[in-house]
Amino acid sequence: MYFKPFGFAAVFVLLLAMTSMNSDAQTHTNRRDKIESLKIAFIAKKINLSPSKSQDFWPIYNEYDNAKQSLFRKYRRKYKSENLSMQDVEHRMEREKEFLDLRKKYINRFSKVLTPVQIADLKRSERQFKKLLLKRSSR
C-alpha cells in the first residue's frame, strides 16, 4: 500500500525523462537538418550551380560527404602535441593521405559535372561555410 504512490511517481518521472530525451534527440536532428539545408544552399550559390547540374552533382557530393564523415570517425582519436609519438605522426600522415586520395577520387567524378573553376570553388565554399558555422556557434 505504501509503494503504490512511489511506483506511480517513479513511472511518471521515467516517462517525463524519456519524453525529454526524445525531444532533445528530435531537436538535434532538426538542427542538423537545418544546417544541412543551409550548407546546400550556400554551396549551390557559391559554385554557381545550375538546376540541371544540380541533379547530377548532389548525389556525388552526398557520397563524398558521407565518405569524408566516415574517415573523420575512423580517425577521431585526439592528439596532444606534447605527447606525440612517431607512431602518432605516421598515423596523422596516413589520415592525410586517405583524405587526399578521397579528394582525388571525387574530383575526378566532380569533373564530369562541374567546371574546374566550380571544383576549386567547391572546396573554398566548404571551408567558408565551416568558418561561418563556427563563427555563429561561438556567439
pLDDT in tens, 36-77: 999 999 999 999 999 999 999 999 999 999 999 998 888 776
pTM of the model: 0.71
Q: State which residues form the domain around 59.
A: 3-137
Could you give the number of structural domains in the chain? 1
79 band by pLDDT with thresholds 50, 70 and 90: low
What angle do the packed helices 116-137 and 86-110 form, to 10 degrees? 130
30 band by pLDDT with thresholds 50, 70 and 90: confident
